[in-house]
Amino acid sequence: MEIKNRRRFLSGAAIASASLAAASVNRVAMATLPEPVFQDKPDTQPPLTPNNGQPYNPVVTLNGWTLPWRMNNGVKEFHLVAEPVVREMAPGFKAHLWGYNGQSPGPTIEVVEGDKVRIFVTNRLPEHTSIHWHGQRLPNGMDGVTGLNQPGIPAGKTFVYEFTARRPGTFMYHPHADEMTQMAMGMMGFWVTHPKGRHPLIDTVDRDFCFLLNAYDIDPGSYTPKIMTMLDFNIWSWNSRVFPGIDSLNVRLNDKVRLRIGNLTMTNHPIHLHGHEFLVTGTDGGPTPKTTRRYEVTQDIAVGQMRQLEFLADEEGDWAFHCHKSHHTMNAMGHDVPTLIGVDHTGLASRIGKLIPDYMVMGERGMADMAEMEMPLPENTIPMMTGEGPYGSVEMGGMFSVLKVRRNQKPGDYSNPGWFKQPPGTQAYEWKGPPLAEPKRSSSGGKSAMPRTSSTAVEVQVRKPGKSSGNAHQH
Ligand SMILES: [Cu+2]
């Protein structure tokens, strides 16, 4: 028995020394755990300017922050603590998630190409975990897949990851242990490797923003995501924040701006920017060759992908910036409600109102009423469409924010400049001339390339599938 244990110990030591040789990072200096740094605020923190190591232009994490490090004999040391967190997803709406160092997502890690990196990961979750460094070149034993590359980090233990940041670009990190639970609970973070010196394909920019796309299923009135959900999420978020809780991206007129976006949801997100065209300057594999770049206003970001978008912010104003799937710019309570547009409820509300005071019929003119109305909501949720703009409700939620381009925004100032005041004569206005005459409409039907011999006209009423089919949304 003793011999068997000893043999196992020896073979373990042999494996350890083999990986030590491969890791190319010196472990000798490692003596103490770096003090972990925690963040209790969901506000966008100013860029963390490096005060040691190689210089770089830091990124700004939307409603997030960058993890400070310590230098230890030429190695950049970080300390991540996996733990349950309370994340304010928007004012008045808190979620009980799992994350790192006090927040979900975890802090952004910024390093420079060629940096030797050591990351201590302490597990304060009730189950084992691991971290996969998504997209990195690294020794196989550092890739973080539980069971394949390493045993899971048991609850209460600390593991150490070491590798050299070999290629510059945009990366992510997330658990590779009970992934369905741990990612549904919000465990993920951003990683940026800046180029060492000038890179022919990576431009210097004035503002460099990053955020992750994530999604949750949290019933109105509850606090914890439902982890079994695969398709029907109701909270579509950027860095675990939903509009109007997502900070605006505040830039100076004619700034060169880079947006780094990673998708850790279970569907694709066509990210759309108003008022400007951007180039896709980077993907999962690194900077894109210049010959492949073309201007776009929407970039689809598939599951597990990262994209870098760059543009010149040369149009002043408040420009919407959002996922183009309309259900993704909507918060909870927008689901399982039958379409009632065109349904005549005349008299219904007043009749029911005699029985149930405050009864309202929603949705017969569309859903905008829901954004305007002060609807009573359950505790701890957020209206489906909301966000007060200078001209009324923005009628958005979820994956929506605003790019604010201002002439007088100072370099390095990320504060919100308030609403844009359109110069006189540059805003859509009401037509005050003669009213519209009744137009002539054609009543002829369309032709078919392959006509049937007999045809019966069918008019369909399309209703979205959903669990509830009868009643309107009631309050
Ligand atoms: Cu989307």
Instruction: Please give the distance, rounded to the nearest whole angstrom, from the Cα atom of residue 316 to the centre of ligand 1.
Output: 26
Instruction: Please give the distance, rounded to the nearest whole angstrom, from the Cα atom of residue 325 to the centre of ligand 1.
Output: 5
Instruction: Please give the distance, rounded to the nearest whole angstrom, from the Cα atom of residue 268 to the centre of ligand 1.
Output: 6
Residue type (1 letter), 311:
F
Asked if 345 and 223 sit in the same domain, the reply is yes
Residue 384 lies in a domain: yes
Which positions ≥6 away from 303 have C-beta within 8 Å? 263, 264, 265, 266, 267, 268
Residue 454 lies in a domain: no
Q: State residue 438's pLDDT score.
A: 84
Q: Of 81, 85, 95, 94, which is closest to residue 40 (Cα–Cα)?
A: 85
- Of 406, 428, 463, which one is at a domain's C-terminal end? 406
Instruction: Please give the distance, rounded to the nearest whole angstrom, from the Cα atom of residue 399 to the centre of ligand 1.
Output: 7
Instruction: Please give the distance, rounded to the nearest whole angstrom, from the Cα atom of residue 398 to the centre of ligand 1.
Output: 9
Q: State residue 333's pLDDT score.
A: 56
If one counts the domains in the chain, the total is 2
Upper half-sphere CA count for residue 65 (Cβ side, 13 Å): 16
Contact (CB, 8 A) for 129 and 182: yes
Please report, in tens digits, the pLDDT of each residue of the chain (475 residues total): 333 333 333 333 333 433 444 444 545 445 789 999 999 999 999 999 998 888 999 999 999 999 999 999 999 999 999 999 999 999 989 999 999 999 999 999 999 999 999 999 999 999 999 999 999 999 999 999 999 999 999 999 999 999 999 999 999 999 999 988 999 999 999 999 999 999 999 999 999 999 999 999 888 878 899 888 888 888 899 999 999 999 999 999 999 999 999 999 999 999 999 999 999 999 999 999 999 999 999 999 999 999 999 999 999 999 999 999 988 988 775 445 455 555 565 665 565 556 555 545 556 566 666 555 555 666 777 776 677 888 888 888 899 999 999 999 999 999 999 999 999 999 999 999 998 888 888 877 777 787 776 666 777 776 656 544 444 444 3
**CA–CA distance, 344 with 144 (Å, rounded to integer):** 58
Residue 1 lies in a domain: no
Instruction: Please give the distance, rounded to the nearest whole angstrom, from the Cα atom of residue 199 to the centre of ligand 1.
Output: 32
Instruction: Please give the distance, rounded to the nearest whole angstrom, from the Cα atom of residue 313 to the centre of ligand 1.
Output: 23
Q: State residue 6's pLDDT score.
A: 36
Asked if 185 and 241 sit in the same domain, the reply is no
Asked if 225 and 157 sit in the same domain, the reply is no
Instruction: Please give the distance, rounded to the nearest whole angstrom, from the Cα atom of residue 269 to the centre of ligand 1.
Output: 4
Instruction: Please give the distance, rounded to the nearest whole angstrom, from the Cα atom of residue 11 to the centre of ligand 1.
Output: 49
Q: Of 107, 74, 55, 387, which is closest to residue 248 (Cα–Cα)?
A: 387
Quote the pTM value: 0.82
Instruction: Please give the distance, rounded to the nearest whole angstrom, from the Cα atom of residue 164 to the centre of ligand 1.
Output: 34
Residue 451 lies in a domain: no
Instruction: Please give the distance, rounded to the nearest whole angstrom, from the Cα atom of residue 300 to the centre of ligand 1.
Output: 9
Q: State residue 371's pLDDT score.
A: 58
Residue carrying the six token digits 């008045």: 92
Instruction: Please give the distance, rounded to the nearest whole angstrom, from the Cα atom of residue 323 to the centre of ligand 1.
Output: 5
Instruction: Please give the distance, rounded to the nearest whole angstrom, from the Cα atom of residue 271 to the centre of ligand 1.
Output: 7
Which positions ≥6 away from 348 have C-beta within 8 Å? 361
Asked if 200 and 256 sit in the same domain, the reply is no
Instruction: Please give the distance, rounded to the nearest whole angstrom, from the Cα atom of residue 331 to the centre of ligand 1.
Output: 12
Instruction: Please give the distance, rounded to the nearest whole angstrom, from the Cα atom of residue 348 to the centre of ligand 1.
Output: 36
Phi, psi of 171 (to 5 degrees): -135, 175
Instruction: Please give the distance, rounded to the nearest whole angstrom, from the Cα atom of residue 272 to the centre of ligand 1.
Output: 10
Q: Are strands 109-112 and 189-194 parallel, antiparallel or unpaired?
A: parallel
Instruction: Please give the distance, rounded to the nearest whole angstrom, from the Cα atom of residue 273 to the centre of ligand 1.
Output: 13
3-state secondary structure 172-193: EEECCCCHHHHHHCCCCEEEEE
Instruction: Please give the distance, rounded to the nearest whole angstrom, from the Cα atom of residue 320 to the centre of ligand 1.
Output: 14
Asked if 345 and 271 sit in the same domain, the reply is yes
Instruction: Please give the distance, rounded to the nearest whole angstrom, from the Cα atom of residue 401 to the centre of ligand 1.
Output: 13
**CA–CA distance, 410 with 179 (Å, rounded to integer):** 42
Asked if 200 and 224 sit in the same domain, the reply is no
Residue 286 lies in a domain: yes
Instruction: Please give the distance, rounded to the nearest whole angstrom, from the Cα atom of residue 246 to the centre of ligand 1.
Output: 15
Instruction: Please give the distance, rounded to the nearest whole angstrom, from the Cα atom of residue 216 to the centre of ligand 1.
Output: 12
Residue carrying the six token digits 């110069």: 423
Residue 122 lies in a domain: yes
Asked if 41 and 174 sit in the same domain, the reply is yes
Instruction: Please give the distance, rounded to the nearest whole angstrom, from the Cα atom of residue 214 to the centre of ligand 1.
Output: 9
Instruction: Please give the distance, rounded to the nearest whole angstrom, from the Cα atom of residue 396 to the centre of ligand 1.
Output: 13
Instruction: Please give the distance, rounded to the nearest whole angstrom, from the Cα atom of residue 183 to the centre of ligand 1.
Output: 17
Asked if 283 and 182 sit in the same domain, the reply is no
Instruction: Please give the distance, rounded to the nearest whole angstrom, from the Cα atom of residue 60 to the centre of ligand 1.
Output: 22
Asked if 126 and 274 sit in the same domain, the reply is no
Asked if 368 and 322 sit in the same domain, the reply is yes
Q: State residue 168's pLDDT score.
A: 97
3-state secondary structure 86-131: EEEEECCEEEEEEEECCECCCCEEEEECCCEEEEEEEECCCCCECC
- Of 371, 387, 406, which one is at a domain's C-terminal end? 406
Residue 242 lies in a domain: yes
Residue 249 lies in a domain: yes
Q: State residue 411's pLDDT score.
A: 95
Phi, psi of 384 (to 5 degrees): -60, -45
Residue carrying the six token digits 């009970």: 178
Asked if 271 and 128 sit in the same domain, the reply is no
Asked if 266 and 150 sit in the same domain, the reply is no
**Exposed/middle/buried for residue 338 (C-beta within 10 Å: 0-12, 13-18, 19+):** middle
**Exposed/middle/buried for residue 435 (C-beta within 10 Å: 0-12, 13-18, 19+):** exposed
- Of 204, 238, 266, which one is at a domain's C-terminal end? 204
Instruction: Please give the distance, rounded to the nearest whole angstrom, from the Cα atom of residue 464 to the centre of ligand 1.
Output: 19
Instruction: Please give the distance, rounded to the nearest whole angstrom, from the Cα atom of residue 172 to the centre of ligand 1.
Output: 18
- Residue 402: which domain range? 214-406
CATH of the domain at 82: 2.60.40.420
